[in-house]
Amino acid sequence: MDTDQPTSSSAPQQMRPDEMRGLAKRLRARADSVLLRDQPHQAADMRQAASLIEQFANLSAEILASAAVIDGLTRLLDVISTASSPSRSSATAKCLTRAPLQPASGRSRRQS
């Protein structure tokens, strides 16, 4: 009785960029440990894997930040199109267009 469904009932969990960086740090620490001093090729492989995971974490973080910016722009365009719709009252349109825009990171670029 073969089935095409996996035997595991839980879906694989995706790692967040900070979790990926933690994994890379642990791999690098293991590669640099005393345990792998007699296996330099395996230690080098682990360091390389850690570097690749860190690069992937950075790309993932950039993609997530870009997605947040795109989502913000999409919402802004929706507000603008709703505000310019003739079915809305002018008071509602003025109220909608006066909402302040926040940077994607939630922090201002200038810090004193």
Q: How many CB atoms are closer than 10 A to CB 28?
A: 18
Q: What is the pLDDT of residue 94?
A: 53
Could you write out the DSSP letters of every residue in 23-37? HHHHHHHHHHSGGGT
Alpha-carbon distance of 42 to 48, in angstroms, equals: 10
**Region of poorest pLDDT, from 3-12, 22-31, 61-70, 79-88:** 3-12
Domain boundary assignment for the chain: 17-97
Alpha-carbon distance of 93 to 50, in angstroms, equals: 51
Q: What is the pLDDT of residue 104?
A: 52
Tokens read off for 85: 């719709």
User: Which residues fall within 8 angstroms of residue 28, CB to CB, at 6 or more apart?
Assistant: 46, 47, 50
Alpha-carbon distance of 93 to 96, in angstroms, equals: 5
Residues 33-75: pLDDT tens digits? 988 889 999 999 999 999 999 999 999 999 999 998 998 888 8
Alpha-carbon distance of 95 to 83, in angstroms, equals: 9
Taking the complete model, does pTM exceed 0.85, yes or no? no
- Using left for φ > 0, alpha for ψ between -120 and 50, and beta otherwise, residue 5 falls in beta
